[in-house]
Amino acid sequence: MNQRSNRAESSRVAHGGRVYEAARRWGIGPGEVIDFSASINPLGPPPGVLSAIENALSPVNLRAYPDSYAFLRALADKQSLMPDEVIVGSGTAALMFAVLHALLPKRVLVLEPAFAEYSRACAAVKAEVTTWPLTEEDGFTPNFASLVRAVKEQLFDLVILNSPHNPTGISYRKEELLSLVDAAQAQNVTVLIDEAFVDYAPQASLVSLAGTKPHLVVLRSLTKFYAMPGLRVGYGVCTAKLAAKITEQIDSWSVSTVVLEAGRAALDEDEFGAESRRVNALAREEFTNALRGVGLKVFPSDANFLLARMPHGSGEDLQRWLEAERILIRRCDSFRGLGDAYIRLAVRSCAENVRLVSLIEEWLKGNQG
């Protein structure tokens, strides 16, 4: 484990999905950018969500303040929860900050590489961060027995991890996660699990149990799987007592009526969800095999993105070269523990995936030294 102070955390935060920024730089429309840097479902948004957005744009809705009751009720029914066990916010990143401000932990254990917002949220409450490195040699998977021992022996207030893991896409078995949650609870330690991509691996989710575990918070996103990141909406699940405490840290009316109605419609898209998982699994396997065929090491993933290590060259150089093709990828040097040889690629349509593989092969051949 590695310890660091977050009091002087770097302001540099890299994210994918900068489509508008790239379009301005290249002098093209946003729709002409092919974005492999953000992991957005290529099948969406589903028609039901688009219809809900249109219906929500009525004068009566626009003249009234948002009311999250219908969304919370629908979500609770779908996940077999009570409405007071659910928190809604403008995305999982915003909810992460609300959770940290509610708990005010002094010492936090974070599994890294990880989503940059975890460190930013810890810095916002001046928490001391200890990192648990996930290494390529171990398949970027923690030894949960060792992790449980560390929680029992160290004086942590909070453990943060995500499943499926970002940027690798690996999901952890529910039994392993529960062993950590139970050990943490015995030490009065809270476990925060980010399940932003778990719609692709629903068997690994702990969301249905979060309302019964007093030291567990599960965060979920609706924007990635349903392809509506322009509408910021996510939710958290925990006990009613903790949910009330976290809700106090969220601005009033932080999620608009239009977004709430889009989110509620998304919850009814069961057929869309099943088809998305089927299509993604097939495309992901083909994409993986093709990338390996041109020399990349591709790590197993249960999500809709792939982490790959190039045989030579840097992610920065490849990223710049692909700009001529109006393609964005996610270089991974901003993830602690990963170098510039790593890239993360969203799984898009089969035709787009094939095109990118061909371009990467061309670039690798031209940069063999």
Q: Which residues contact 321 (CB under 8 A, 6 or more apart)?
A: 363
3-class secondary structure, 53: helix
Q: Which domains does the chain have, with CATH numbers?
A: 16-44+270-366 (3.90.1150.10), 47-266 (3.40.640.10)
Distance CA 355, CA 110 (A): 36
Q: What share of the chain is helix, strand, coil (3-state, %, to 5)?
A: 45, 15, 40
- Report pTM: 0.92
Tokens of 166: 């970002």
For residue 2, what pLDDT is reported? 64
For residue 176, what pLDDT is reported? 95
For residue 4, what pLDDT is reported? 53
For residue 8, what pLDDT is reported? 35
Q: Which residues contact 354 (CB under 8 A, 6 or more apart)?
A: 290
For residue 11, what pLDDT is reported? 38
144 in Cβ contact with 179 (< 8 Å): yes
For residue 300, what pLDDT is reported? 96
Sign of CA dihedral 138, 139, 143, 147: positive
pLDDT tens digits, residue range 137-147?
998 999 999 99
**Positions in the chain whose pLDDT score sits under 70:** 1-16, 369
Distance CA 120, CA 96 (A): 10
pLDDT tens digits, residue range 338-368?
999 999 999 999 999 999 999 999 999 988 7
Judged by phi (left if over 0) then psi (alpha if -120 to 50, else beta), residue 28 lies in beta
3-class secondary structure, 195: coil
